[in-house]
């Protein structure tokens, strides 16, 4: 199974304020976008980040070939167990997620 990072052009994660993390998957082409929309389940994303599916806001934006996912941060920004103040490294974890065909 291909990994998300092999299909998408770029994956970016950032803080959306101290309590939310937002992940932008730039697919690059319509073909890649279709593969990502079909192959990436919100459930798999929830498992990857250790949150409930219901807490994830998902936007499949066909006009831009982008899938955007926003979720409560795995740790509140700057709390003592937060490993990443700016939240940018989480993209790498999602990039390694296998996509369903």
Partner 1 sequence: MTTRVLIPSGALGLNYDPVALERGLAMKPDIIAIDGGSTDSGPAYLGRGVSKYSRASTKIEWQGLMEARAKAGVPLVIGTSGTCGTDSAVEWMLDITREIAANLGQSIKIAVLRCSQNPQDIGEFYANGLITPLPAAPDISRQSIEACNNIVALAGTEQIQAAIETGADIIIAGRTTDTAIIAALPIMQGESAGAAWHGAKIGECGALCATNPQSGVVIIEFDGDSFTVIPLADGAHASPHTVSAHMLYENSDPFILYEPGGYLDVTNAKYTAIDETRVRVTGSNWVPSDRYTVKLEGARGAGFQCVLITLLRDAHYVKNASTWANDIIEKCRDKVGARLGLDPNDYEIELRLMGKNASFGALETHTSKPHEIGVLAIVTAQSNEVAMEIGQFLNPYLLHQPLTRAEEQPTFAFPFSPAEISRGQTYEFCLNHVLELSDPMSAFSIQEVNIA
Q: Using CB under 8 A as the criterion, which residues of the chain lie in contact with partner 1 when the complex forms?
A: 14-20, 22, 24, 26, 48-50, 55, 57, 59, 61, 63-64, 66, 68, 70, 72-74, 76-81, 83-86, 89-90, 92-93, 96
Alpha-carbon dihedral 48, 86, 63, 45, rounded to 10 degrees: 10
Q: Nearer Cβ to partner 1, position 38 or 98?
A: 98
Q: Which residues pair with 12 in a beta bridge?
A: 24
CA pair distance 71, 69, nearest whole angstrom: 7
CB of 89 to partner 1, least distance (A): 5
CB of 32 to partner 1, least distance (A): 15
3-state secondary structure of 96: coil
């Amino acid at each position: 199974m291909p990994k998300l990072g092999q299909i998408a052009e770029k994956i970016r994660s950032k803080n959306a304020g101290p309590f939310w993390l937002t992940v932008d998957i730039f697919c690059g082409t319509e073909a890649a976008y279709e593969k990502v929309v079909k192959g990436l389940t919100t459930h798999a994303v929830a498992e990857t980040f250790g949150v409930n599916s219901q807490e994830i806001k998902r936007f499949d934006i066909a006009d831009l070939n982008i899938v955007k996912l926003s979720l409560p941060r795995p740790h509140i920004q700057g709390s003592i167990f937060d490993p990443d103040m700016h939240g940018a490294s989480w993209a790498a974890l999602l990039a390694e997620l296998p996509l369903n065909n």
